[in-house]
Amino acid sequence: MTEPSPVVLVVDDEVQIRRFLRAGLELDGFVVQDAETGADALKWVTLKQPDLIILDLGLPDMDGGDVLERLRAWSSVPTIVLSVRSNEAEKVRLIQGGADDYVVKPFGMAELLARAHAAMRRQVRASSGEPTVKAGPLTIDLAARIVTLNGQRVMMTPKEYKLLQILAQHAGNVVTHQYLLKEVWGSPHMHDTHYLRIFVRKLRQKIEEDPTQPRILLTELGIGYRLAIPETPKPMMQ
Amino acid sequence: MTREAALRIRDELRGILLALLMVAVTTVIALGLIEYFGVRRGSALYLIPVMLAGWHLGLVPALVAAVAGVLWSGYLFFSPFYTYFLARPNEILNLTLFMVVGLVTSHLASQAKRQTELARRRENEMSDLYAFSRRLASAPAAAEIYLAIEEYVANLVQRNVVLYEASSDGSLDNHTVPAEMRAALAEIQRGSIPATTIEDGNGNSWFMRRVSQRTPDFGVIAIDLGRAGKDMMAETRQRLDEALSDAAATLERLDVARTLTEAKMRSETELLREALIGSVSHELRTPLASILGAATVLTQSPVIARDERLKSLSSVVRDEAERLNNDIQNLLDATRISRGQVKPRMEWIEPQDIVNSALERRQRRLSGHSIAIAMDRNLPLIYVDPVLVEQAFVQVVDNAAKYSPPGSTITVAAQRNGHDVVLSVNDTGAGLTRDELARLGERFFRGSRHAGLASGSGLGLWIAKAFVVANGGRLQAESQGVDQGTTVSIHLPLSEHAPPPEAYPDD
């Protein structure tokens, strides 16, 4: 292996959860570091910059949201939160608070890894200035502002492109309605979700094979949208 | 001489002294009038202390004031002045008249006062009685009535009142009853005598009767009459009877309320059970998250992936953990519904997004079936809580997968139908009888034919229905009969304020 293994910090007080996360992440090539409390996690992050943080929200010493807030004050390390179902408002709040994505407990390892890799790729893209994002048959060239579908150029209005661009910058991770509305239409329209719905419908007609069953521009109910990127399966380590 | 008589005499003596004092003050004023103004006909002045004494102090002080007043006016206002000697016969008549007027006045005054007092007391009693009956009428439980009776009667007779409640077996709760009274209480309770007055060991009289003459269920009331004995009782006896018959009627009415109390207790048990389900479910979910997570790691690990048997075993662990998690989620949802904690967060949403999300969530479970999708291209947006509707739709999809054979087709559709958007799931499975159709959506309802076919709690469609109703929609099931398949559809009304799709130009 030429590249150094990425380091992931797992912050969870449940020992069994940490055990399977460690197993799954190590199989995927990560070097895993544990923290049981929010204080431990913050201390560890200041000492060594990890490549990824997996953060459980129910920590014994402090709320996961507070850990995230303090972390984001100085670090942009990709962070995935472990959430519980039936609280969409909380998920939205966490993502707006700087989480790159979430998975809902109980979750499968594949789902967590997909979210984690997407968040890490975004970090790499941001630092390396990699200009194109591929989502299945769709290619978005962020530098040239050109969208192609199966090699064919797709014509878009500036707002449609803006929407797609934001999703592409977060490819694989969820982007909240509020963020998209604010970026594309401006703050006064932060809660006009129907703007988004209609725009996404038009966008899907341009980029999806079957707009009623989208494969690229996916809806996260109650939260936002996600640009699906094909997983690049890594050979598992033995 | 009793203490009370002594007190009465002391009060009377105080009244007489005060009456004399008022006469004395009047005399000083009269002397002043005579000396400085030369008034010579002032005997009427002495009517003032007589009337005041009659009003405030009673008959005897008034009489004393009248006699003293006559003597003083004879001394001051009738010639020869400053003697008690009366010179002329007409003056004797005057003084006699004065005395009569004084006596009548004092009598009238004390009478009027007694009337006023009586009227005031009646009024108080009436308002007490009114308050009492209002309290009875609104009493939520028997205990409240017993308290009301105790307080009302105690207030009425100004005496200590004790109520002995009958316990459920009809015997009296009498461990606090003085030994002397126990036998009498028991007899009254049995109904062999209606009421009685007995003396306890300390020489106090107690009047006792059943609260209701018709039934022993409401216990016995005992009133401590102190040493006054039976005389005291005579005047309040009738009012006591009235009050108790009111109370007894209310208590009889409350037998209905007793049933209500029991129902309330039952619903509290229900609440407790739900709280228990809630906390147990949460406790179960934590280890389940580890099991499910670990199973997904195992199924993907290369060592296991190489061995078909191990691979299928770890899939079993994963799938069953997932199923268990769904069952727990159903229990939690059911608890949430029963507690009225389902609060939709409405937003505009594409109907097909809901369907797609549900199918994505159930991808693995549906992999054994062939899925046909029929969605209208330009469905209007709907204004619902997308998460709740999706969860309802997942339940409907689960149901179809559960009750139709593997390999059969499940058709999922999203269509417009008049003023509704209809999300439906059609299967070619077990179907439903007319009776089953009618009962579908009841909590815990499971068709007996299906017991062997698939596992389940009977909660799924009940939850789906509750979530759909919370969004202003309705759940509908159709079946042509046994083995003819089933269609379950979620009807969601279009909002009147639906934004037209073309309202927002591209830029």
Question: What pLDDT, on the 0 to 100 scale, is given for residue B220?
Answer: 80
**Predicted pLDDT at B358:** 95
B354–A160: do the CB atoms touch at under 8 Å? Answer: no
pLDDT in tens, B303-362: 898 999 999 999 999 999 998 888 888 888 888 888 788 889 899 999 999 999 999 999
Indicate whether B230 pLDDT > 70. no
Q: Does B381 touch chain A (CB under 8 A)?
A: yes
In A, which residues are within 8 Å of B381 by CB distance?
194, 197-198
Is the pLDDT at B444 greater than 90, yes or no?
Answer: no
Instruction: Tell me whether residues B350 and A219 touch, CB distance under 8 A.
Output: yes
Using the predicted structure, report yes or no on whether residue B292 has a pLDDT greater than 90. Answer: yes
Strand partners, B425: B412, B488
Per the CB < 8 Å rule, is A88 touching B387? yes
Can you give the pLDDT at residue B46?
A: 82
| DSSP single-letter state for residue B372 | E
Give the residues of chain A that fall short of pLDDT 70. Answer: 1-2, 85-86, 231-238
Q: Are residues B302 and A236, on separate chains, in Cβ contact within 8 Å?
A: yes
Using a CB–CB cutoff of 8 Å, tell me whether B320 touches chain A. Answer: no
Residues of chain B with pLDDT > 70, as a percent, come to 83
Structure confidence at residue A43 (pLDDT)? 92
CA angle B217, B222, B227 (to 5 degrees): 170
Q: What is the pLDDT of residue B468?
A: 95
Contacts of B329 in chain A (CB under 8 A): 85
Structure confidence by residue, pLDDT tens digits, B139-161: 766 677 777 778 887 877 777 78
**Residues ≥6 apart with Cβ < 8 Å to B360:** none
Name the average pLDDT for chain B.
Answer: 80
Whether residues B357 and A221 touch (CB distance < 8 A) is answered with yes
Specify which of A160-174, B17-31, B172-186, B452-466 reaches the highest per-range mean pLDDT: A160-174
- The tens digit of pLDDT for each residue in B455-464 reads 666 788 899 9
If pLDDT is split at 50, 70 and 90, which confidence band does B275 have?
A: confident
More confidently predicted of B297 and B445: B297
**CA A37 – CA B59 distance, rounded (Å):** 91
Is pLDDT above 50 for B130? yes
Confidence grade of residue B297 (pLDDT, cut at 50, 70, 90): very high
In angstroms, the CA B309 to CA B299 distance is: 11
Is residue A82 within 8 A of residue A107, CB to CB? The reply is yes
Place B489 in a pLDDT band, splitting at 50, 70 and 90.
very high
Task: Give pLDDT, residue A238.
Answer: 41
Higher pLDDT among residues B186 and A222, named by residue: A222
Residue type at position B245: S
- Interchain CB distance below 8 Å, B321 and A106: yes
* Domains of chain B by residue range: 3-120, 141-257, 347-499
Pairing of strands A52-56, A7-11: parallel
> Closest approach of chain A CAs to the CA of B369, in angstroms?
18
Residue of A nearest to B505 (CA): A199
Write down the pLDDT at residue B446.
65
Distance from CA of B392 to the nearest CA of A (A): 13
Of the candidates A82, A67, A65, A78, the residue with the CA atom closest to the CA atom of residue A21:
A82
Which range of B79-83, B214-218, B329-333, B473-477 scores highest in mean pLDDT? It is: B473-477
* Higher pLDDT among residues B5 and B353, named by residue: B353
The closest CB to that of B297, out of A27, A89, A198, belongs to A27
Is A221 in contact with B349 (Cβ distance < 8 A)?
Answer: yes
Interface of B with A in 271-310 (CB under 8 A): 285-290, 292-294, 296-297, 300-303
Give the gap in angstroms from C-alpha B173 to the nearest C-alpha of chain A.
53
Give the residue-averaged pLDDT of B168-177. Answer: 54
How many Å apart are CA A163 and CA B132, to the nearest integer?
Answer: 73
> In this predicted structure, what is the pLDDT of residue B170?
47
Binary contact (A109, B293; C-beta < 8 A): yes
Neighbours of B328 (CB within 10 A): 19
To the nearest whole angstrom, how far is the Cα of B319 from the nearest Cα of chain A? 11
Tens digit of each residue's pLDDT (9 = 90 or more) over A183-195: 998 888 888 888 8
Residues from chain B that touch A201, judged by Cβ atoms under 8 A, are: 350, 501
Report the CATH number of the B141-257 domain. Answer: 3.30.450.30
Q: Which residue of A has its CA nearest to B347?
A: A193
Whether A48 contacts A60, CB under 8 Å: no
Q: Kindly report, residue by residue over B397-421, the tens digit of the pLDDT.
A: 999 998 889 999 999 999 999 899 9
Helices A177-185 and A88-96: angle between axes, nearest 10 degrees: 50
Q: What local confidence, expressed as pLDDT, does residue A8 receive?
A: 96
Note whether B393 and B423 are within 8 A (CB): yes
For residues B425 and B109, the model is more confident at B425
CB pairs under 8 A between A and B: 118
Q: What per-residue confidence (pLDDT) applies to B253?
A: 67
Query: In sequence order, what are the residues at sequence separation of 6 or more whose Cβ sits closer than 8 angstroms to the Cβ of residue A47?
Result: none
Greater model confidence, B196 or A89: A89
Using a CB-CB cut-off of 8 Å, the residues of chain B touching A157 are: 506-507
Tokens coding B329: 């989620």
Domains of chain A in sequence order: 7-127 (3.40.50.2300), 131-227 (1.10.10.10)
**Beta carbons of B297 and A222 less than 8 Å apart:** no
Cβ–Cβ below 8 Å for A159 and B506: yes
User: What is the rounded distance in angstroms from the CA atom of residue B343 to the CA atom of residue B336?
Assistant: 10
Q: What is d(CA A196, CA A173) in angstroms, rounded to the nearest whole number?
A: 18
In A, which residues are within 8 Å of B499 by CB distance? 194, 198
Q: Which residues pair with B199 in a beta bridge?
A: B205
Confidence of residue B465 (pLDDT cuts 50, 70, 90): very high
Q: Are B225 and B207 in contact (CB under 8 A)?
A: yes
pLDDT at A90: 86
- Asked if the Cβ–Cβ distance from B286 to A88 is below 8 Å, we say no
> Which secondary structure element, helix H or strand E, spans residue B265, and what is its range?
helix B230-300
Q: Does B349 sit within 8 Å of A17, measured CB to CB?
A: no
Closest to B65 (Cα-Cα) out of B107, B23, B105: B23
Chain B residue with minimum CA distance to A14:
B286
Mean predicted confidence (pLDDT) in B378-391 = 93
Chain A residues whose CB is inside 8 A of the B386 CB are 221-222
Are residues B297 and A88, on separate chains, in Cβ contact within 8 Å? no
Nearest CA in chain A to B346: A222
Tokens of B102: 């004084």
The whole-angstrom separation of Cα B462 and Cα B334 is 8
- Please name the residue of chain B whose CA is at the shortest distance from the CA of residue A83: B289
**pLDDT score, position B5:** 76
Q: Do A108 and B318 touch (CB under 8 A)?
A: yes
Tokens matching residue B396: 């409907």
Q: Domain B347-499 - what CATH class?
A: alpha beta
Mean pLDDT score, B24-52: 83
Query: At a CB cut-off of 8 Å and minimum separation 6, what does B437 contact?
Result: B477, B478, B479
Q: Do B290 and A19 touch (CB under 8 A)?
A: yes
Chain A positions in Cβ-Cβ contact with residue B507 (cut-off 8 Å): 157-159
pLDDT above 60 (res B500)? no
Q: How far apart are CA B486 and CA B396, in angstroms?
A: 11
Say yes or no for a CB contact (<8 Å) between A197 and B381: yes
Q: Per-residue pLDDT for B79 more than 70?
A: no
Q: What is the pLDDT of residue B124?
A: 81
Report which residue type is found at B235: E
Q: Token match 């291209």: residue?
A: B377
Distance from CA of A25 to the nearest CA of B (A): 9
Residues in chain A closer than 8 A to B296 (CB atoms)? 24, 108-110
- Count of helices and strands (H, E) across chain B: 13, 11
Q: Distance between CA atoms of A53 and A35, rounded to whole angstroms? A: 10
Q: Is residue B257 predicted with pLDDT exceeding 80?
A: no
Contacts of residue A195 in chain B, CB cutoff 8 Å? 504
pLDDT grade, residue B56 (50/70/90)? confident
- The CA distance from B66 to B49, in Å, is 8
Contact B74, B20 (CB under 8 A): no
* Distance, CA of A65 to CA of A68 (rounded, Å): 5
pLDDT at position A177 is 93
Q: How far is A10 from chain B (nearest CA, A)?
A: 14
Rg over alpha carbons for chain B, rounded to the nearest Å, is 46
- List Cβ neighbours of B12 (8 Å cut-off, separation of 6 or more): B58, B60, B61
Q: Give the whole-angstrom CA distance, residue A201 versus residue A212.
A: 9
The better pLDDT of the pair B29, B504 is held by B29
Q: Does residue B206 surpass a pLDDT of 90? A: no
Interface with B, mutate which of A12, A20, A59, A226 (most B CBs under 10 A): A20
Q: Do B289 and A105 touch (CB under 8 A)?
A: yes
**pLDDT at res. B373:** 94
pLDDT value of residue B106: 75
Whether the CB of B325 is below 8 Å from some CB of chain A: the reply is yes
Alpha-carbon torsion angle A219, A224, A229, A232, nearest 10: -110
